[in-house]
């Protein structure tokens, strides 16, 4: 199968190569013919998140360039979890990990093609580790790992003072064994992952050399950070989950819509499949008129469509337009409205107690700090119920105003809104 010889140049331009083994050798291998590669995902939660999306889309880029993906879901390594700076992970039951393995696998599959000459394969390391004896593992794998090198790994070194279990300390052996197994059984010669995995990646390359006399490659994608240096992937509600049950498509779309101006171009390169020319044109227009936030709008639409589909992207956009006063709020589905208001904040009221007046509602939702401030907001023309301006501070919404028989949307000014759910 023919391959795209410009792949590595594209990865470099997109900022997706933080580190690699011999760059020239990697370039030659990728240009010579179709390379079998793998990237792993541990099911340590019921969903993947933004950081995993970098790896999924990178795998897709390699497959589109003619290379064959092996997506590994770690049913075995997910029982342990890679060491992290914050401390020991909570060990989950086999049943939980197997359930999460299925969910993670289902999240990865839509991004890859399972047909053609370079059809993707899904693998689970539980298949080759569950029956392995401790003696065999220590003799055949453990003997290739000098303890001094294991102690020198960044995460392990940082954890030595606070403490690290032998379980997590040994994780690198398991991941390296995965690479060796895929090398032996499937001809996989390339592994990539996040830059926090670099020690594990190179350990796998070294194990293949020591155990088989073979040659393999590895590269790491960078850790994405905000302008202040803090990690991306977190929102006020937690991780930027890919599962719509954990993070609604509306909230997901809003996250991308609100990224910093100086980061929009970088994220377009990492998370979209737009060409260099398209991104350069967007960046130029954005630099000229950043207040239009055109780069963020394209970014939000592209990534939400990749993860949730075009229909959910349109629903998210319609919800935003309605909530900010430019669309028909009564046309929103109950699920979309509830997700949007959960993100903005809402309060519950007992239907038996009746619906209070607009001043009380503005105060209850926190849109006004006091009833006096709420009255001034009404007097100044800044109070809205379901996008209809309210001029009377004693106005009481009717039951017929409830959207989906449950919701009122309160808005103060152009951008601040909150929900009221009448139960």
Does 180 or 131 have the greater pLDDT score? 180
Query: Which residue in 254, 292, 298, 261 sits closest to 279, CA to CA?
Result: 298
Task: Supply the pLDDT for residue 238.
Answer: 66
The pLDDT of residue 102 is above 70:
yes
Task: Supply the pLDDT for residue 91.
Answer: 85
- Tokens matching residue 78: 């997910």
Task: Supply the pLDDT for residue 229.
Answer: 79
Task: Supply the pLDDT for residue 234.
Answer: 52
- pLDDT averaged over every residue in the chain: 90
What does the CA dihedral 36, 42, 47, 51 come to, rounded to 10 degrees?
-70
Q: What is the mean pLDDT of residues 333-356?
A: 80
- Tokens matching residue 407: 């919701």
Task: Supply the pLDDT for residue 237.
Answer: 52
Q: For the segment 27-79, what is each residue's pLDDT rounded down to a tens digit?
A: 999 999 999 999 999 999 999 999 999 999 999 999 999 999 999 999 999 98
User: What residues contact 300, with CB distance under 8 A and at least 6 apart?
Assistant: 253, 254, 255, 256, 257
First to last CA, the chain: 61
The pLDDT of residue 403 is above 90:
no
Q: Are strands 190-194 and 36-41 parallel, antiparallel or unpaired?
A: parallel
Task: Supply the pLDDT for residue 87.
Answer: 65
Share of residues in the chain with pLDDT > 70 (%): 95
Task: Supply the pLDDT for residue 344.
Answer: 75
Task: Supply the pLDDT for residue 74.
Answer: 94
What is d(CA 29, CA 276) in angstroms, rounded to the nearest whole number? 24
Q: For the segment 176-211, what is each residue's pLDDT rounded down to a tens digit?
A: 999 999 999 999 999 999 998 999 999 999 999 999
Query: Which residue in 138, 139, 140 sits closest to 180, CA to CA?
Result: 140
The pLDDT of residue 236 is above 60:
no
Task: Supply the pLDDT for residue 227.
Answer: 82
Task: Supply the pLDDT for residue 163.
Answer: 74
Task: Supply the pLDDT for residue 145.
Answer: 83
Q: For the segment 371-398, what is each residue's pLDDT rounded down to a tens digit?
A: 999 999 999 999 999 888 999 989 999 8
The pLDDT of residue 239 is above 90:
no
Three-state secondary structure of the chain? CCCCCCHHHHHHHCCCCCEECCHHHHHHHHHHCCCEEEEEECCCCCCCEHHHHHHHHHHHHHHHCCCEEEEEECCCHHHCCCCCCCCCCCCCCHHHHHHHHHHHHHHHHHHCCCCCCCCCEEEECHHHHCCCCHHHHHHHCHHHCCHHHHHHCHHHHHHCCCCCCHHHHCHHHHHHHHHHHHHHHHCCCEEEEEHHHHHHHHHHHHHHHHHHCCCCEEEEECCCECCCCCECCEECCEECECCCCCCCHHHHHHHHHCCCHHHHHHHHHHHCCCCHHHHHHHHHHHHHCHHHCHHHHHHHHHHHHHHHCHHHHHHHHHHHHHHCCCCCHHHCCHHHHHHHHHHHCEEEECHHHCCCCHHHHHHHCCCCCCHHHHHHHHHCCCEEECCEECCCCCCCCCHHHCECCCEEEEEECCCEEEEEEEC
Q: What is the mean pLDDT of residues 78-97?
A: 81
């Amino acid at each position: 199968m023919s391959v795209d010889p410009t792949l590595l140049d594209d990865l470099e331009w997109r900022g997706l190569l933080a580190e690699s083994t011999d760059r020239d050798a990697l370039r030659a291998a990728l240009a010579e013919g179709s390379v079998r590669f793998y990237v792993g995902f541990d099911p340590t939660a019921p969903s993947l998140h933004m950081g995993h999306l970098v790896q999924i889309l990178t795998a897709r880029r390699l497959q589109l360039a003619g290379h064959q993906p092996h997506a590994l879901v770690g049913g075995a390594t997910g029982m342990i979890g890679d060491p992290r700076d914050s401390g020991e992970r909570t060990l989950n039951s086999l049943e939980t990990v197997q359930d999460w393995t299925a969910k993670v696998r289902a999240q990865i599959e839509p991004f890859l093609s399972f047909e053609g000459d370079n059809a993707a394969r899904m693998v689970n390391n539980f298949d080759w580790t569950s029956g392995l004896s401790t003696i065999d593992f220590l003799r055949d794998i453990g003997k290739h790992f000098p303890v001094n090198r294991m102690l020198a790994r960044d995460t392990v070194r940082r954890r030595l003072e606070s403490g690290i279990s032998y379980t997590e300390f040994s994780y690198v052996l398991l991941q390296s064994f995965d690479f060796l197994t895929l090398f032996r059984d499937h001809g996989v010669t390339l592994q990539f992952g996040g830059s926090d995995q670099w020690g594990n990646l190179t350990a796998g390359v070294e194990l293949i050399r020591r155990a088989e006399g073979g040659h393999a490659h590895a590269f790491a994608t960078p850790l994405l950070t905000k302008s202040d240096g803090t990690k991306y992937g977190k929102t006020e509600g937690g991780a930027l989950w890919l599962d719509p049950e954990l993070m609604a498509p509306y909230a997901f779309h809003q996250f991308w819509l609100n990224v910093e101006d100086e980061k929009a171009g970088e994220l377009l390169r990492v998370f979209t499949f737009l060409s260099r020319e398209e991104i350069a044109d967007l960046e130029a227009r954005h630099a000229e008129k950043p207040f239009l936030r055109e780069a963020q709008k394209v970014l939000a639409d592209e990534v939400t469509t990749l993860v949730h589909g075009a229909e959910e992207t349109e629903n998210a956009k319609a919800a935003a337009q309605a909530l900010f006063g430019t669309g028909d709020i009564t046309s929103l589905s109950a699920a979309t409205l509830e997700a949007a208001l959960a993100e903005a904040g809402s309060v519950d009221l007992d239907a038996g107690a009746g619906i209070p007046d607009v001043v009380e509602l503005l105060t209850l939702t926190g849109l006004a700090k006091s009833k006096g401030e709420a009255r001034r907001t009404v007097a100044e023309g800044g109070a809205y119920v379901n996008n209809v301006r309210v001029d009377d501070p004693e106005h009481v919404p009717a039951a017929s105003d409830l959207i989906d028989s449950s919701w009122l949307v309160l808005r103060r000014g152009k951008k601040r809104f909150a929900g009221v759910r009448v139960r």
